[in-house]
């Protein structure tokens, strides 16, 4: 019994420390007039392809973009985004014991790495995982979860935590929905059941459908944050 209590206390301390650092990150972002958006999903949902389409849209609207790219290993995804000629901070969590999420101390390091760059909006590609990334506050202004239609309609019900903690849910690969006979209304109903306030986007990163709508939402949130400053 004692051991269990001790473990709970340790976890609590880790989370408290993570939240403190996330608040430090928020202060740094405000001092630099930056916003940060944290994209989470299971592996293979299309995060990198989505960012590959989102980046040029945001650049075309005059915003300077920076990327924090999280992966357990490899620089594959960072390389895929390199052609946009924007600053990218790569985090390989294998250096920190292969973490399946990005904790705020690691994000703080990435922000340090990007500090000399002129950036308005930072996009985080979190490690592909639907469980613990949601528990770690990264200091982001908004958290988004991506699920692709290939993952099945009941994903939001099976992994409610991440859908509850995110302000937006992106349904990706909608170009495949007719082929897979995906029930889009059922996915939306399931998301709303877990989080009625979640802003839902229906996107095909492949065909770029829905990218503009998502980009405008990001810009709107960035502008609201600094409206009175
Ligand atoms: Mg990726
Ligand atoms: Zn983890």
For residue 135, give the CATH number of its domain: 3.40.50.300
Please state the separation of Cα 146 from the chain's center in Å.
Answer: 8
Is residue 25, in this structure, part of any structural domain at all? no
194 domain-assigned? yes
In total, how many domains does the chain have? Answer: 1
State the distance from the centre of ligand 2 to the C-alpha of 185, rounded, in angstroms: 31
Residue 15, helix vs strand vs coil: helix
Q: How far is the CA of 47 from the centre of ligand 1 (A)?
A: 5
The H-or-E segment that residue 211 falls in is helix 211-225
Residue 47 lies in a domain: yes
Please report which ligand is nearest the Cα atom of 97.
2
Whether this prediction's pTM lies above 0.85 is answered by yes
Ligand sitting nearest the alpha carbon of 70: 1
User: What pLDDT score does 12 carry?
Assistant: 83
Number of the ligand closest to the Cα of 47? 1
Alpha carbon of 55 to ligand 1 centroid (Å) = 14
218 Cβ neighbours under 8 A, 6+ residues apart: 35, 37, 54, 58, 121, 142
Distance 80 CA to ligand 1 centre (A): 9
Ligand nearest the Cα atom of residue 128: 1
Check residue 7 and give its pLDDT: 79
pLDDT attached to residue 200 = 98
In contact, 156 and 183? CB cutoff 8 Å: no
Residues with CB under 5 A from ligand 1 (ion): 47-48, 77
Structural domain of 123 = 30-225
Given a cut of 50, the residues of the chain with pLDDT beneath it are none
Check residue 209 and report its DSSP letter: B
CA of 93 to the centre of ligand 1 (A): 14
Q: Is residue 59 part of a domain?
A: yes
- Output the CA 10–ligand 1 centroid distance in Å: 31
Which letter, b or e, does each residue of 38-64 get, where b requires 16 or more Cβ atoms within 10 Å of its Cβ? bbbbbeebbbbbbbbbbbbbbbeeebe
Which ligand has the minimum distance to the alpha carbon of residue 124? 1
**Is residue 9, in this structure, part of any structural domain at all?**
no
Quote the ligand 1 centre to 81 CA distance (angstroms): 10
Q: How far away, in angstroms, is 191 Cα from ligand 1 center?
A: 23
In a domain, 133, yes or no: yes
Residue 13 lies inside a defined structural domain of this protein = no
The residues near 90 (Cβ < 8 Å, ≥ 6 apart) are: 69, 71, 75, 78
For residue range 136-173, list pLDDT tens digits in order. 999 999 999 999 999 999 999 999 999 999 999 999 99
Q: What is the pLDDT of residue 78?
A: 93
Output the pLDDT for position 46: 95
Answer whether 102's CB lies under 8 Å from 138's CB: yes
Q: What is the CA(52)–ligand 1 centre distance, in A?
A: 10
Question: Do the domain assignments include residue 6?
Answer: no
C-alpha of 91 from chain center: 14
């Amino acid at each position: 019994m004692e051991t269990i209590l001790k473990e709970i206390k340790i976890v609590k301390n880790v989370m408290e420390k993570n939240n403190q650092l996330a608040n430090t990150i928020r202060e740094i972002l405000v001092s630099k007039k930056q916003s940060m958006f944290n994209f989470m999903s299971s592996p293979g949902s299309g995060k990198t392809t989505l960012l590959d389409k989102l980046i040029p849209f945001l650049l075309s609207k005059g915003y300077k973009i920076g990327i924090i790219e999280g992966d357990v290993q490899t620089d594959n995804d960072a390389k895929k985004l390199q052609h946009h000629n924007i600053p990218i901070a790569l985090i390989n969590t294998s250096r920190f014991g292969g973490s399946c999420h990005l904790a705020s101390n690691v994000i703080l390091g990435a922000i340090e790495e990007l500090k000399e760059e002129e950036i308005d909006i930072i996009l985080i590609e979190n490690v592909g995982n639907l469980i613990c990334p949601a528990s770690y506050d990264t200091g982001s202004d908004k958290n988004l979860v991506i699920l692709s239609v290939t993952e099945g309609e009941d994903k939001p019900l099976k992994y409610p935590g991440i859908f509850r903690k995110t302000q937006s849910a992106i349904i990706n690969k909608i170009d495949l929905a007719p082929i897979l006979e995906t029930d889009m209304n059922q996915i939306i109903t399931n998301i709303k059941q877990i989080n009625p306030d979640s802003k839902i986007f229906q996107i095909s990163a492949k065909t770029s459908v829905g990218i503009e709508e998502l980009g405008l939402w990001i810009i709107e949130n960035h502008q609201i944050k600094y409206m009175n400053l």
